[in-house]
Amino acid sequence: HPIVKTLKPQSYFPTYNDAYRALLKYNENPYDLSDNLTLAELYDKWYSEYCASKKKSYSTQKSISSVWKYCSAFYDFPAREIRSRHIRKFIDEASLKVNKQVKPATPYIKTRLKSLFNMMLDFAVEYEIIERNYSRTIQLNSEIYQQLEDEHRYHIPFTDREINALWNNLGKIPYINVILIQCYSGWRPSELGLIKLENVDLKNDTIMGGMKTEAGKNRIVPIHPKIRPLVEELYNEANALGSEYLINCTDGLYYRSGYFLTYGRYKIRFLKVIKELKLNPNHLPHDCRKHFITTAKRFNVDEYAIKYIVGHVISDITERVYTKRETAWLKKEIKKITK
């Protein structure tokens, strides 16, 4: 009697033609059918070899794994199927969920992810898991590099004359209100568009938001009395639009892609205001944050209050660990700014 071993199918297809096409594709580039790696599994293989062969320090390993967490939504994607469009999507939509809050990847994290994909897919090509490293065929969005460049440029605070010009033209030129809000609260430009309506507390005059660092994310920022009417106006406008975000693009330029205020959209409008009011042409959106910090120091706002509000790391252990600061104290400090 012949001994018959039942074949175990590796894949199933709805029709004969689908199965035949898959077989032809396999014969063009044979691979181990039992090793159909996901992105997460590919990362684990690359990470183990990379860290071992390069003798990377613990801090470097921790940094790499922290960056990779931003792609957790795509861990199950089949490594063999990855193409340029997928990598771009993974980087563009990279985010991290912290305490039920979704934290989008910063421009810096996105550049780190691009480098990680470069190295990881080089590894995959070497071990014949994929035929080509598609990560090396794409360039990141120019807006990402633009924002990185702006962040590291020397920033210029506004002069009293420039601030007066902004107030005097409020309502005449769109988005002056957003610039003033940033000047009196210290938000990063990329944080402005991410402020959710649900985190704006007009009853207690506070806004919760922020990103980038542990100290910066989900921080409480008091609403300065001078900008409270501006915040309330945007709040009502967002409600009328049905938007979940406080600040929206409502000038008709981007209706097709939604009202969402990205860094690039804000920069275009910011520079338009600077040009129309003939302010210092070297101003960039990050200058509003610089202006807030400079003005707060000028009016003797407590150094720790400034750091809490703008989301800077506090190195003093007594202050950071053993001192509890109330929101009322932050409100009292920010009200010291009278111009």
Q: Which run of H or E residues covers position 220? A: strand 219-222
Q: Which residues are within 8 A (CB) of 168 and not within 5 positions of it... i.e. 6 or more apart?
A: none
pLDDT at 94 over 60: yes
Phi, psi of 308 (to 5 degrees): -65, -45
DSSP string, 111-150: HHHHHHHHHHHHHHHHTTSSS--GGGG----HHHHHHHHH
State residue 253's pLDDT score.
Answer: 64
Give the distance, in angstroms, between the CA of residue 294 and the centroid of all CA atoms in the same chain: 25
- When pLDDT is averaged across residues 275-292 and rounded to a whole number, the result is 94
Tokens of 54: 């390069």
- Least confident piece of the model among 93-102, 187-196, 237-246, 283-292: 93-102
- CA dist 216 → 168, 173, 307, 327 (Å): 32, 30, 9, 16
- When pLDDT is averaged across residues 276-294 and rounded to a whole number, the result is 94
Higher pLDDT, 312 or 28: 312
DSSP 3-state of 224: coil
- When pLDDT is averaged across residues 210-224 and rounded to a whole number, the result is 78
Residues 220-231: tens digit of each pLDDT = 999 999 999 999
DSSP 3-state of 248: strand
Q: How confident is the model at residue 255 (pLDDT cuts 50, 70, 90)?
A: low
Q: How confident is the model at residue 320 (pLDDT cuts 50, 70, 90)?
A: confident
Tokens of 156: 């210029």
State residue 158's pLDDT score.
Answer: 95
Tokens of 228: 């409270």
Q: Which run of H or E residues covers position 98? A: strand 95-98
pLDDT at 11 over 80: no
Q: Which residue has the tokens 């860290």?
A: 51
Q: Which run of H or E residues covers position 96? A: strand 95-98
d(CA 206, CA 334): 12
Higher pLDDT, 60 or 172: 172
Q: How confident is the model at residue 34 (pLDDT cuts 50, 70, 90)?
A: very low
d(CA 295, CA 148): 24
Q: Which residues are within 8 A (CB) of 274 and not within 5 positions of it... i.e. 6 or more apart?
A: 280, 281, 283
Q: Bridge-partner residues for 207, per DSSP?
A: 200, 221
- When pLDDT is averaged across residues 193-206 and rounded to a whole number, the result is 94
pLDDT at 317 over 90: no
